[in-house]
Structure 1
Amino acid sequence: MYTNFSLTPAVPALSGAMLPQMGMPGVEEEFLGSKIDVEYMDYVHPHWRQYRAPQAFQHLLLGMVYAVILFMGMLGNLLVLITFFTTKSLRTPSNLFVANLAIFDTLMMSKLPVFVMNSIVEGQLFGKIGCDLYGLVGSYSGMGAAITNSAIAFDRYRTIAFPLDGRLGMKAAVGLVIGTWLWATPFSLLPFFEVWSRFAPEGYLTTCSFDYMTEGPSTRYFTLTIFVWAYCIPLLLIALFYSRILSHVREHEKMLREQAKRMNVKSLSQGDEKSAEIRIAKVAISIVFLFICGWTPYALVALIGGFGERSLMTPTFSMFPAIACKTVACIDPWIYAINHPRFRAEIQKKVPWLCFFGEEKSSKASDTKSEASDVKSETA
């Protein structure tokens, strides 16, 4: 269905680079794709096959980077999940979204051992089915995490803006969590079954993503659709809800100042609530910044592959988006959960040998403060 129609027009332009693959003995392994099974070569776009294969040190360097990401990401996300499911007091609707994000991020981390094995063989160790499953897991984890970030922003907005009657119940939270999985399903299964687009190797041919290289309107429509669905909509929702939170806190602080002026007192705010606006702004900026840093590289690579100047897309350049999104999946649990005093205190009880959580008395003090205010509890 997705025969690579670019082979014929690409031959004149790439003939010099492709010649070693086409019959000069002794140099085939120097070019990308030389170790890919012949029956699978149709899935490898000719653009990648014009480049020489990366050196061993490049695979080693990537492997070391991915090893650090795997360790820190698995540690953080598993700590969040274990703490959530074993501590009854933490199983709240708000924390359910954080746990759901940790599940998506753990899925992202689960691909890294496959990447290492693919790097060893300099191709796809498990062939087409391995590439398809790699892409499927990445699609679910990426789109699911993106929309879960939006759900967390929505939950925090409801909790802070409407503290009395706006909090989501557990049934509503479960419904939204199911919705995050449904959100990621269409554009994960469509390329998996090659109904619309497909998963194909990219970069060093050791990772797989949806096919944004094959020429034709179908590929371009899919690229634009997934760009809006998986990137633009979640980013707009995150920015919208956190901007509303910040606006609400500003109005609340303004109201307190006016009331204090009428009562001829200095302030009606508690001392530790004066910085609420600053804390919320920091959280909002951090989350939006992480989202942009994690997913903008992938969005740019896909748009360049489908619409831009492909000469910019070297294999090494195309590997950076994968590193970026996995780094964000590694950082997420530390931003959302482990930085929260209640999570931090429970984790310290379960694994006291993890000394980087700080002193227990500090955690307990922060926990007491977080219980005193909905704003502090939701933005810690």
Structure 2
Amino acid sequence: MSHSRIPDTYLDAYYGFWFKDGLTMRDILPKDLQEMSSEHWLNQAPMHPFINDIVGIFFGVLTVINFLGNGTTLYLYMKEPSLRRPSNLLVVNLAVADILMIMSNGIPLTYNMFYENWWMFGKTWCVQYGLWGGITGLCALWTLVFIGYDRYNAIVGGLTAKPFTNTKALLALVFCWGYPVAILIWPTLELWSRWSLEGLMVSCSFEYNSDDWNNKSYTIFVFSCCYCVPLTAILFYYTSIAKAVWAHEASMKAQAKKMNVESLRNDKGNEESAEFKIAKVALTNVILWYLTWTPYAVVVMMGQFGDRNSLSPLASQIPSMMTKCVSCLNPIVFAVSHPKFREAMRKHLPCFKEEEKVVAVATPTKTVAA
């Protein structure tokens, strides 16, 4: 990407970025793109063009990692019959949502960053970018909620809990994809808010920098339905799981003390129960998801109700980019950390196969007289 495409700007011999005093994005952005942006972003000064290059490289690497991790998860599920359980359909759905996220958001953004200084695909694809980024992101979140429910059902419910069936799994998948569509159809049709450019003008999101009540009310709606509601559900499930695990561990320790033994476990080298391991894996994924998405939620609420002047293009773009990172973390947490997935990796992926130990066995020799 050449800096010469930005009028009234230049790079010095030390790659310092210089531009005419008072120059804003309104002065350099094409007219059709100005109609797709809020006044806040139009009044911002242009950013160093190398920032776009760095973002492009970042998303290029992210795309490769995403395809490798989630592609491996899907391959193992199709290859290994023991993984084809109803609860693992949720893990597969998570991988599908992550791949679609990077295809609809990561690949176009990477190409855009190296070719142009601002969004180059027009209004129609801006809408598609925001819509599919939102659908896949929310689908992944609600998939995590149902994974939390499955763990809650298995650990807290115990032997009395009804197992997660194929019917339940399919209904969960329908909800995971249907819920985001019901939420995001309104800005797509421009009936309630709209999709617009944000930050560095190379990505699109719903309008959260407008004083119009139409946009303010939609921001409250999205924050409540897409952040607060799933957060409440996940906190409930994992708080209940933690309580159940701690109560079980305390009960086993008390019983061991009565029996005058150190532990009731047969495998003393493995002090963690299977339930505790499952809870840790799922909880870790949820924490990572919220650490990734919470900064963006803060940016959105700040842009709509806080001090908008303190919201710079780069400050808003970094949290937006972080939301795509979780698509690379999910396969690591769920596939690599899951014993059955690790077993399938060792079985079906040559690079993960363990070398078989060869044990030499002495065989008697037989002497045959001539």
TM-score (norm 1): 0.81
* Counterparts of 1:93 and 1:361, CA distance in 2: 33
Q: CA deviation at 1:279?
A: 3.8
Alignment partner, residue 247 of structure 1: 243
Q: If you compute each CA radius of gyration, which structure gives the higher value, 1 or 2?
A: 2
Unmatched 5+ residue regions in structure 2?
A: 1-7, 9-18, 358-370
Distance 1:36 1:130 in 2: 17
Correspondence for 1:11? none
1:64-116 deviation digits (Å, cap 9, x = unpaired): 11112111112111111122133222111111111111111112211112112
**Which of 191, 194, 199 is the aligned partner of 1:198?**
194
3-state SS, counterpart of residue 131 of structure 1: helix
**Deviation of residue 200 (structure 1)?**
0.6
Residues 142 and 176 in structure 2, CA contact (< 8 A), matched pair in contact too:
yes
Question: Could you state the TM-score of these two structures normalised by the residue count of structure 2?
Answer: 0.83
Q: Displacement of 1:322 after TM fit?
A: 1.8
Q: Superposition RMSD on alpha carbons, in Å?
A: 2.6
CA shift for structure 1 position 132: 0.3
Match of 2:140 in 1: 145
1:54 is aligned, of 47, 52, 55, to: 47
Instruction: For 2:271, give the aligned amino acid.
Output: K
For the 8 Å contact 1:198–1:210, the answer to whether it is kept is yes
Match of 1:118 in 2: 112
**Residues 192 and 361 (structure 1 numbering): CA distance in 2 closer, same or farther, change over 3 Å?**
farther
Partner residue in 2 for 1:101: 94
- Identity rate of aligned residues, in percent? 33
| Partners of 1:77 and 1:103 within 8 A in 2 | yes
TM alignment of 1:119-198, pairs within 5 A: 119=113, 120-166=115-161, 167-198=163-194
Q: Is the 8 A contact 1:294 1:321 kept in 2?
A: yes
Higher deviation after alignment, 266-275 or 312-321: 266-275
Q: Which amino acid in the other structure matches residue 169 of structure 1?
A: T
C-alpha distance 326-153 of structure 1, shift in aligned 2 (>3 A) = same
What are structure 1's unaligned runs of at least 5 residues? 1-19, 21-25, 363-380
Quick check: 1:105–1:141 contact (8 Å CA) kept in 2? Answer: yes
Letter in 2 for 1:43: M
Residue by residue, what CA displacement relative to the aligned partner does 1:137-177 show, whole Å, maximum 9, x if unpaired? 11101111111111111101111223434221111111111
- The one-letter code sitting in structure 1 at the alignment partner of 2:159 is L
SS at structure 2 position matched to 1:208: strand
Runs of 4+ in structure 1 over 6 Å off: none
Letter in 1 for 2:344: E
d(CA) in 1 for partners of 2:293, 2:125: 23
State the alpha-carbon separation in 2 of the partners of residues 97 and 361 from structure 1: 33
Q: Are the structure 2 counterparts of residues 55 and 284 from structure 1 closer, same or farther at C-alpha, using a change threshold of 3 Å?
A: same
